[in-house]
Amino acid sequence: MLLKFKVVHYYLIPLVCLVVWWGMLTALMVCWVVQNKPQYSWNTEYQVPPYISDLGATNLQPLFISCAGFQAIFFVGTLTMEYFLRRYKKLQPFVSKKQPLFSIISIVCAIIGQLGILFVSIFKTTRFHRVHLSMVAVFIVFSFFTCVFNFLNSFIFGYYPTRLSPNHEKVIFGTHRWANLYMVSFVLKTFWLVGAVVFAVLFGWYMKDDHPSLSAAFEWTISYWYGFLLVLWAIDLFPSAVKHYQLRHPDQYPEKDLSHIHLDPNNPADLTKLEERSVSTFGSPTFAGQEL
């Protein structure tokens, strides 16, 4: 049976952020190429590619500001939505008392980090160079801590598989404790974070060592790499779209034995009778389990 889900749902929030962010980066680079790859007066040597900040300091600054601000809203919105979906059991609920705290810390760090990238776009490098670099640092540091606390929640889910759904066929795929999709998610996110740290260090190292072309190349690399994090977060939110569909089409899932509830799929009040049921990765029903 094909997996069915609500098409327009919360998992699209990080994907909208992704489209805006990658769209902005691509538009900036295309404009620079179309303009015959100009070398800017504030650069002391020939540089290819230019820093994103250099492009954002030209007549393309309105694009830089608008896209940075727009994606910031959806970035923070992704983490906020995950928190509420888990609290209200529309995703796998938290299985540890630490997890809600980690989520809140992650959201706060995300807000500060995204304000950093917004100020990076506003305070252009040609006029406010020191402030500009400071805001780049704020963005990088707080984005790092955003990821750390968010990824810890994935680890907790993966480390305590017995606290997840009793219906494990969609989540657990082996006998080892870590053989579950939440731990796979944590490993992928950790791989992403290690790559991001390496790219950020090389970006700063070559900037300090006065190799602007290499530094800029790693800046572009980490900027596109940032988009893959949003894909991972979209996957995290996707099970909520599966649950939404299942609750409104109970007749298609006789194996879940929902008939005794006698709900009307078009009546939101009736649907609340099923809200204690949740779904983990790819649609397995779940329960909150024990707490630490």
Residue 283 lies in a domain: no
Residue 280 lies in a domain: no
Residue 161 lies in a domain: yes
The per-residue pLDDT for range 166-195, each reduced to its tens digit, is 544 577 677 777 778 899 999 999 999 999
Within a 10 A sphere around the Cβ of 195, how many other Cβ atoms? 14
Q: Is 262 exposed, middle or buried (0-12, 13-18, 19+ CB in 10 A)?
A: exposed
**Which pLDDT score, from 0 to 100, does residue 246 have?**
77
**Which pLDDT score, from 0 to 100, does residue 286 have?**
43
Residue 65 lies in a domain: yes
Residue 233 lies in a domain: yes
Residue 267 lies in a domain: no
Within a 10 A sphere around the Cβ of 101, how many other Cβ atoms? 13
Q: Please list the pLDDT of the chain residue by residue as tens digits (292 residues).
A: 678 888 989 999 999 999 999 999 999 999 999 999 998 887 777 889 999 999 999 999 999 999 999 999 999 999 999 999 999 988 989 999 999 999 999 999 999 999 999 999 999 988 999 999 999 999 999 999 999 999 999 999 999 988 886 544 577 677 777 778 899 999 999 999 999 999 999 999 999 998 999 999 999 999 999 999 999 999 999 988 988 887 888 777 766 655 444 555 566 555 544 544 444 444 444 444 444 5
**Which pLDDT score, from 0 to 100, does residue 222 have?**
97
**Which pLDDT score, from 0 to 100, does residue 278 have?**
43
Residue 5 lies in a domain: no
- What domain range includes position 224? 12-247
**Which pLDDT score, from 0 to 100, does residue 39 have?**
87
**Which pLDDT score, from 0 to 100, does residue 266 have?**
61
Residue listed under structure tokens 């790219």: 199
Q: What's the number of domains the chain is made of? A: 1
Q: What pTM was estimated for this model as a whole? A: 0.86
HEC states along the chain?
Answer: CCCCCCCCCCCHHHHHHHHHHHHHHHHHHHHHHHCCCCCCCCCCCCCCCCCHHHHHCCCCHHHHHHHHHHHHHHHHHHHHHHHHHHHCCCCCCCCCCHHHHHHHHHHHHHHHHHHHHHHHHHCCCCCCHHHHHHHHHHHHHHHHHHHHHHHHHHHHHHHCHHHCCCCCCCCECCCCCCCEHHHHHHHHHHHHHHHHHHHHHHHHHHHHCCCHHHHHHHHHHHHHHHHHHHHHHHHHHHHHHHHHHHHHCHHHCHHHCCHHHCCCCCCHHHHHHHCCCEECHHHCEECCCCCC
Residue 279 lies in a domain: no
